[in-house]
Amino acid sequence: MRAKFISRIVPLALAGTLCAAPAAADPGLGTALSQQLIPSVNGAIKAAIRSERAKPPGQVAQVPPIPPSTKAPAQTGLPTGWTYTTDLSMAWALGNTGASNKLPGGFDAGVGYGFNATTRIQASYYEVQHYPLGFNTGSVPLYLQGVANPVGAVDLSQNGPNVTTKDAFTLVMFQKLVRLDHKLPVVITPTYVSRTSSIGGTSDLQTLEVNGFPLQVQARTAQVEAVAFTLPFLSTPKMFGTFTVAPAWLVHRAGLNQENHAQLYQILYLEYRPTRSTTIFLEPQSSRDYLPADVYAQHLNAYFLGISHRLTRNTFVQAVLNSGGPSNYQPYGLTGIYCQQLVPCSQQAITAGGLHATQIQLQFGIGTPSVLPF
């Protein structure tokens, strides 16, 4: 009888089980910065380094002076005028998720305007898909609200929920290029990020079990303000590297949030260019994501490994593998289901640990090369 009861309530109990305990592969602000901010600032730093190297050593002024030229000066930093990029993507979940590895398609777009070689604004929309581990494998205890001991167990492999997740980020960035000691280029980027999400094809509104009571939370909706500082540490004909540090604050606390001091995002970018059209890149990152289902910020460690190939001047294809998870939220995935009443268990709350996922994304796009992630 108990087994029959559990098998009947599981589809209902798991319909909205995905809590927003994030991981970097549960894409957070670090992912958005990696895919939207880093490519643009890297392009500016590369151009600034090239312009510095092109100067004759020790030359300050020319004597006699040369009459002003009517030719437009070469770009030495951020792209000026209008730029754009857009792409479509497909993605697959990797690892033992216990579910289909197919993920929904995605769409990205960005438009920017450079006032001059040191000042620019950009707006971007970015989607990323993933399927976290621990929701379709193993079993979790089933509780009755207010009862300390479990009344049964739920076999997730038999009645796993659809926790396909698509996160959407809207970013508005103001970029300023400065030179330290008149040589080292640094890009400062105040950024506003608005994040929304869908879980299993529906909204991110979830019922969580918090201190013995159910609480409804928009688990993956947040707005963040950040200031990113990006500087180079490597530049050769074949290789290039930058480091970005970005303190970030929630625009407002929500859900279970208890504090709102600066959370630090750190992104290392390293690329190798075997040919003029192909770039291989690695982006390890350490960040602190803070969503409404988090009492305190999560310590996220992740990596992004990708290859980009420019098909023509304004078209590209790119494949990106990313994986990671929080180091301070354990275990991963669903940890318990709480029925608000025994029969029927049509209303329920859940508890979950951190989210860990691995996925590969294939992108096909068009746009202005200076702002593409090469």
**What is the DSSP track for 159-173?**
S-----EEEEEEEEE
What pLDDT band is residue 7 in, cutting at 50, 70 and 90? Answer: very low
* CA nearest neighbour of 22 among 199, 252, 176, 158: 199
Given a contact cutoff of 8 angstroms between Cβ atoms, the answer to whether 92 and 103 are in contact is yes
Could you say which DSSP state residue 332 is in?
B
The residue among 84, 248, 78, 269 whose CA lies nearest residue 174 is: 78
Provide the residue type at 47 as one letter. Answer: A
Q: How many CB atoms lie within 10 A of CB 353?
A: 17
Banded pLDDT at 206 (limits 50, 70, 90): confident
pTM of this structure: 0.81
The closest of 188, 262, 274, 168 to 230, measured between CA atoms, is 188
pLDDT reported for residue 26: 53
Greater pLDDT, 69 or 22: 69
Q: Residue 246 has what pLDDT?
A: 94
Question: With contact defined as beta carbons under 8 Å apart, do 81 and 343 qualify?
Answer: no
- How does pLDDT run across 291-300, given as a tens digit for each residue? 888 888 888 8
339's CB contacts (< 8 A; 6+ apart) are 9, 13, 142, 143, 144, 145, 151, 345, 347, 348
Query: What pLDDT is attached to residue 69?
Result: 47
Backbone angles phi, psi at 145, to 5 degrees: -50, 125
- pLDDT tens digits, one per residue of 311-356: 998 899 999 999 988 888 878 888 999 988 777 777 888 888 888 9
Amino acid identity at 352: A
The pLDDT assigned to 86 comes to 93
Domains and CATH numbers, the chain: 2-53+76-371 (2.40.160.40)
**Quick check: 269 and 43 in contact, CB under 8 A?**
no
What beta strand segments (E) does the chain contain? 81-94, 102-116, 119-130, 139-144, 152-155, 165-180, 184-199, 205-210, 213-218, 222-235, 239-250, 263-272, 278-289, 298-312, 315-326, 334-339, 348-352, 357-367
In the block, residue with structure tokens 């604050």 = 249
Sheet of 334-339: strands edge to edge?
A: 152-155, 139-144, 334-339, 348-352, 205-210, 213-218
CB 18 within 8 A of CB 292: no
